[in-house]
């Protein structure tokens, strides 16, 4: 008996059904990647589709009579970007002696920079890594880290940086 040849339109219109084993394997391998960075021992994940840039620490212009956690402003291609020292804001012990760089998150008027001591790294998670109960975070960060993932004894929090930076801007203005 000869196999009937199908026309291309018939082939494209057919529904493909995965065997059960392949379907189960596909469900287990749901992996997503995010860029993460650490402030002290707190791992923060940068939101998807966020413009981020790593730049040399450079010259930061301090602002008189502002909070200690507002390090100042840095000129990035003609744009003044606020630099927030999260370690100071969150009362964390930071490692001294390492070369620090600025991680710029966002662009235009929504951009802000954070000094970091370690390079950001690509993190990969399975859906099963998502945590149901998050550990306590410093108060200033809690509302902006609504979910997290645990992998290899490290916890990484989704960081809503835009809302966080807006809240800091509100603190500066008041």
Residue 5: predicted pLDDT: 74
Q: Which segments of 119-160 does DSSP mark as H helices, in order?
A: 139-142
Q: What is the pLDDT of residue 113?
A: 96
Q: What local confidence, expressed as pLDDT, does residue 98 receive?
A: 76
- Dig out the tokens for 151 from the structure: 């992998």
Q: What pLDDT score does 99 carry?
A: 83
Q: Is residue 107 part of a domain?
A: yes
What pLDDT does 15 receive?
A: 62
Q: How far is CA 31 from the centre of its chain?
A: 16
Has residue 11 been placed in a domain?
no
| Residue 48 falls inside a structural domain | yes
Structural domain count, the chain: 1
pLDDT score at 172? 78
Q: How far apart are CA 92 and CA 109, in angstroms?
A: 28
Distance (Å) of CA 85 to CA 6, 30, 33, 38, 78? 64, 35, 26, 12, 22
Q: Which domain holds residue 63?
A: 30-173
85 part of a folded domain: yes
pLDDT of 59 reads: 87
pLDDT of residue 46: 95
pLDDT at 152: 87
What is the structure's pLDDT at 171? 80
Q: Per the domain annotation, does 22 fall within a domain?
A: no
Residue ranges with strand state E in 52-105: 52-56, 70-76, 79-84, 101-105
Q: What is the CATH number of the domain that holds 131?
A: 2.40.50.180
Is 10 part of any domain? no
Phi first, then psi: give them for residue 110, nearest 5 degrees.
-90, 0
Phi, psi angles (nearest 5°) of residue 52: -135, 155
Q: Looking at the domain assignment, is residue 114 inside a domain?
A: yes
- Say if CB 84 and CB 111 are below 8 A apart: no
Contact 36, 120 (CB under 8 A): yes
Residue 24 is assigned to a structural domain of this protein:
no
pLDDT, tens digit only, all 174 positions of the chain: 556 676 766 656 666 555 555 555 555 566 888 999 999 889 999 998 999 999 998 889 998 888 899 999 999 988 999 999 998 999 887 666 678 899 999 998 889 999 999 899 999 999 889 999 999 999 999 999 999 999 888 999 999 999 999 998 878 765
Burial 121-153 (b: 16+ CB within 10 A, else e): eebebeeebeeeeeeebeebbeebbeebbbeee
């Amino acid at each position: 008996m000869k196999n009937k040849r199908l026309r291309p339109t018939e082939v494209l219109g057919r529904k493909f059904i995965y065997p059960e084993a392949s379907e189960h394997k596909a469900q287990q391998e749901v992996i997503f990647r995010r860029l993460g960075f650490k402030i002290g021992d707190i791992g923060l994940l940068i939101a998807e589709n966020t413009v981020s840039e790593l730049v040399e620490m450079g010259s930061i212009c301090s602002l008189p009579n502002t909070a200690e956690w507002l390090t100042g402003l840095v000129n990035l291609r003609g744009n003044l970007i606020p630099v927030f020292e999260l370690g100071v804001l969150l009362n964390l012990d930071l490692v001294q002696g390492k070369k620090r760089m600025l991680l710029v998150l966002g662009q235009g008027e929504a951009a802000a920079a954070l000094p970091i001591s370690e390079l950001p790294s690509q993190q990969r998670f399975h859906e099963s890594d998502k945590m149901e109960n998050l550990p306590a975070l410093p108060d200033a960060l809690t509302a902006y880290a609504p979910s997290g993932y645990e992998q290899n004894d490290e916890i990484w929090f989704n960081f809503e940086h835009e809302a966080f930076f807006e809240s800091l801007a509100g603190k500066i203005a008041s």
